[in-house]
Amino acid sequence: MATMNPVIEEAVAAPHGSGGLWSWVTTTDHKRIGVLYGVSAIMFFIVGGVEALLIRTQLALPNGDVLSADAYNQMFTMHATTMVFLVVMPAAAAFTNYFLPLLLGARDVAFPRLNALSYWVFFFGGLFLTISFFVGGAPDGGWFGYAPLSTQVGEVVRMDYWALGLQILGLASVLSSVNFITTVFTMRAPGMTLMRMPVFAWMAFVVSFLLLFSLPIVTVGLFQVFLDRNLGTLFFSAAGGGDPVLWQHLFWLFGHPEVYVLILPAMGIVSEVLPVFSRKPLFGRSFVIFSGIAIGFMGFGVWAHHMFTSGLGPVAEAAFALTTMFIAVPTGVKIFNWIATIWGGALRFKTPLLFSLGFIAMFVIGGLSGVTHSVVPADSQQHDTYYVVAHFHYVLFGGAIFGLFSGIYYWWPKITGKLLNERLGKVHFWLMLIGFNLTFAPMHILGLAGMPRRTYRYPKGLGFEFWNLIATVGSYVIALSIAVFLVNWWRTTRRGEAAGNDPWDGRTLEWTISSPPPHYNFDTVPLVHSEDPFWHEKYGEDEAGHAVPAVAASSGQPQAGLADEEIHMPSPSYYPALTAFGLFISLIGFVYVPVGLVAVAGGLLVTLWGLFGWSMEPLTRDGHE
């Protein structure tokens, strides 16, 4: 870089210092980015939760008038959009960011600045969707945005916010997928073969491929929606020779792999937690990994089961019924292996284990109701009713959210150095389990009794009154459980019990280092000899196969591997956040074309500036390697 023009060099110099707000904006440390994702996800979880409470309050009684129909349609659209794109996905991204390098024995992800860009693109995407509430109303055509309802042209720009918001959030996910895949391929510590990778890392790896291959499909579709709305194209207009059902294919070709994007990280977490709290290795480890891969592949072949009432014809309906039934097989394999993992263990019922066991129980219910959907004639009754709402909440709340909370309680001490309070954690778990079932179990009955989804009110006399009221009560119990969690968080921050390096007697590399981990993660890059490397360092097996403490337990660090004299860590950078900010400005411009074209141009200039500075930025703080 010796030839660099000094003016440019000055202009693109990397930021200094490591404290304060600014250091968070410029950070390229995978752990800090993970924390940013996590805190954002929790904040959006509260927003999405308030939306859910408003929905349930409206539906508590027949002919509710807490919300207008207009407000209600915004609420259910934004509740789904928020929970999928701004809560579960970033929460999984938080864990992947923070722990993928730690689990692999790496010091960071492959592309630290790209990682920061992912976060900031996500952040501004979330902000973009949120501001829609304040400028004429939030999107109101459903998170699935079925054409031609979503493409009806009017003065109302709500669905433009939706189409562009999903587009930009998709960009953030593609960027992190590329990053995580490269990280897995190139950054594993010596001896960390693919099959020795922890199952959570495996599931993050599979999820990255799912995102990489499914997001381009919906990207095309969202562009078409945007063009239909704003430039008068007719991709989805029947009158103009287009096809409304085409959108459904494009959306669900993304949308079904997306379901596995949401659930596989939670399955990965459960696969980490169960062995630790059972003091046994994961049963049938390679089967669990390969069933995850199988789910990933098969997830691309079941999309039309979201369209069993659209008129696919009996042949396609039969085919997708079969693929949908058979994706239950690898899912079942995972469940059986988890139960076999706790079988014969010494179960310590700490909060992370409770949430993981809750995950299994709730996910089994959701999986089985999913099988009833694959029975196409039965689905023609269940489709678009509360039965479906019940089903996917058992999978995505009882499944994904329970799994993610298991991960929060499990890894919190590693991230913060302090243990979350166990008593409050257990209160949180039981309240959430009870509230969850009160809310969603009655919805099975409501759906079969004929209550369609996305209806802002229901009349008296259809038998919907009682179970709706129960569901609303349940939703407030869930809210209470979240309040308990927030109290736990606040309390732990003030006076939490110090965790030490290894509070759970862990099995994987992240427990070998201090809590919170140093900036550079590992003093020396670990050398890995087996799966569960840390466990095998602490424990051996006697002739009967029982775990016994290793004779000469070392100091808690696996055998010294490659010693580094000088640890090079990525420097902070302004440019990822700047690049994302430019995209945000141009997005707002796109909503208000043609006037907004000014903002589009301005925003793209900022993005170009960001990319230019990025490419010219010196690699290290001092400008020399």
Partner 1 sequence: MIKRARLRLSFLALVVLASVAGCSSADPTNLESIVDGDYPQNSLNPAGPQARQIDDLFWMVFWIAVAVFVLVMLAMLVAIVRYRHREGRDRPVKQVHGNTRLEIVWTIIPALILAFIAVPTIAAIFDLRSPPEPGDNALEIEVIGHQWWWEFRYPEYGFSTANEMHIPAGRPVFLSMTSVDVIHSFWVPQLNGKRDVVPGRISNLTIQADAPGVYLGQCAEFCGLAHADMRHRVFAHDEADFEAWALAQAQPALIPTEGPAAGGWDTFQLVCAACHAVDGTEATAQFAPNLTHFASRTSFGGATFDNTEEHLRQWLRNPSAMKPMDPDRNDLASGRILGMPDFGLTEEQIDGLIALLDSLK
Scanning residues 351 to 410, which ones bind partner 1 (CB under 8 A)? 357, 360-361, 364-365, 368-369, 371-372, 374-385
What single-letter amino acid sits at 172?
A: A
Angle at 347 between CA 344 and CA 352, to 5 degrees: 135
**Which residues within the stretch 167-226 sit at the binding site for partner 1 (CB under 8 A)?**
none
Residue type, 37: Y
Q: Which is nearer to partner 1, 342 or 499 (CB)?
A: 342
Q: Which stretch binds partner 1 (CB under 8 A): 69-77, 178-186, 499-507, 599-607?
A: 69-77
Q: How far is the CB of 389 from partner 1 (least distance, A)?
A: 12
Task: Tell me if 474 sits within 8 A of 440, measured CB to CB.
Answer: yes
Scanning 32-40, 153-161, 183-191, 577-585 for contacts with partner 1 by CB under 8 A, the matching segment is 153-161
| Cα separation values, 194 from 124, 191, 261, 530, Å | 34, 9, 20, 11
Q: Which residues of 264-287 are buried (b: 16+ CB within 10 A; e: fewer)?
A: bbbbbbbbbbbbbbbbbbbbbbeb
In three-state form (DSSP H/G/I as H, E/B as E, the rest C), the secondary structure along 272-311 is: HHHHHHHCCCCCCHHHHHHHHHHHHHHHHHCHHHHHCCCC
Instruction: Pick between residue 219 and residue 310 the one whose CB is nearest to partner 1.
Output: 310
Least spacing, CB of residue 87 vs partner 1, in Å: 18
Is 426 near partner 1 (CB under 8 A)? no
Which residue is associated with the tokens 């500036």? Answer: 609
- Residue 163 in contact with partner 1, rule: CB under 8 A: no
- Residue 321 as a binder of partner 1 (CB under 8 A): the answer is yes
612 scored as a contact of partner 1 (CB under 8 A): no
Which of these segments, 20-28, 219-227, 319-327, 421-429, binds partner 1 (CB under 8 A)?
Answer: 319-327
Shortest Å, Cβ 405 to partner 1: 19
154-167 in b/e form (b: 16+ CB < 10 A) is eeebbbbbbbbbbb
Least separation, in Å, of the C-beta of 542 and partner 1? Answer: 7
Only segment of 5-13, 178-186, 224-232, 280-288 that touches partner 1 (CB under 8 A):
280-288
Non-local CB neighbours of 311 within 8 Å, separated by 6+ positions: 245
- What type of residue sits at position 566? E
Q: Does 71 bind partner 1 (CB under 8 A)?
A: yes
Burial letters 319-357, b for 16+ CB under 10 A, else e: ebbebbbebbebbebbbebbeebbeebeeeebbbbbbbb
Selected binder of partner 1 within 278, 406, 468, 573 (CB under 8 A):
278
Site string for partner 1, 453-472 (x = CB under 8 A): xxxxxxxxxxx---------
- 281 in contact with partner 1 (CB under 8 A): yes
Angle at 173 between CA 364 and CA 107, to 5 degrees: 95
Q: Which is nearer to partner 1, 346 or 560 (CB)?
A: 346
CA distance 336 to 15: 51
CB-based contact 561:524 (threshold 8 Å)? yes
Assess 43 for contact with partner 1 (CB under 8 A).
no
Q: Is 139 in the site for partner 1 (CB under 8 A)?
A: no
When asked if residue 592 is in the footprint of partner 1 (CB under 8 A), the reply is no
| Closer residue to partner 1 in complex, CB, 1/238 | 238
x-or-dash pattern for partner 1, window 241-260, by CB under 8 A? --xxx---------------
Helix, strand, or coil here: 582? helix
Residue 604 interacting with partner 1 (CB under 8 A): no
Q: How far apart are CA 615 and CA 202, in angstroms?
A: 32
Residue 452, SS3? strand
Question: Whole-number minimum distance, CB 426 to partner 1, in Å?
Answer: 15
Q: How far apart are CB 391 and partner 1 at their closest, in Å?
A: 12
The single residue among 146, 297, 520, 609 that binds partner 1, judged by CB under 8 A, is 146
| Contact status: 430 vs partner 1 (CB under 8 A) | no
Binder to partner 1 among 8, 136, 190, 486 (CB under 8 A)?
Answer: 136
Rule CB under 8 A: choose which of 4, 39, 69, 597 binds partner 1.
Answer: 69
Contact 144, 60 (CB under 8 A): no
Q: Is 64 left (phi over 0), alpha (psi -120 to 50) or beta?
A: beta
**Which of these ranges, 90-98, 164-172, 317-325, 598-606, lies near partner 1 under the rule CB under 8 A?**
317-325
Q: Record the tokens describing residue 465, joined without a space.
A: 């009154």
**Cβ nearer to partner 1, comparing 307 with 396:** 307
Kindly identify the residues of this chain, within the stretch 75-94, that bind partner 1 according to CB under 8 A: none
Q: CB of 200 within 8 A of CB of 116?
A: no
Among 2, 21, 544, 552, binds partner 1 (CB under 8 A): 544
Told to check if 309 binds partner 1 by CB under 8 A, we report yes
Q: Is 476 in the site for partner 1 (CB under 8 A)?
A: no
CB of 187 to partner 1, least distance (A): 27
Asked if 58 and 67 touch (Cβ cutoff 8 Å), the reply is yes
Stretch of 97-105, 272-280, 298-306, 397-405 contacting partner 1, by CB under 8 A: 272-280
* 265 CB-near residues (< 8 Å, 6+ apart): 92, 95, 96, 200, 203, 204, 207, 400, 403, 404
22-30, 166-174, 204-212, 544-552 -> range binding partner 1 (CB under 8 A):
544-552
Instruction: Candidates 89-97, 130-138, 182-190, 397-405: pick the segment binding partner 1 (CB under 8 A).
Output: 130-138
Nearer to partner 1, 22 or 133 (CB): 133
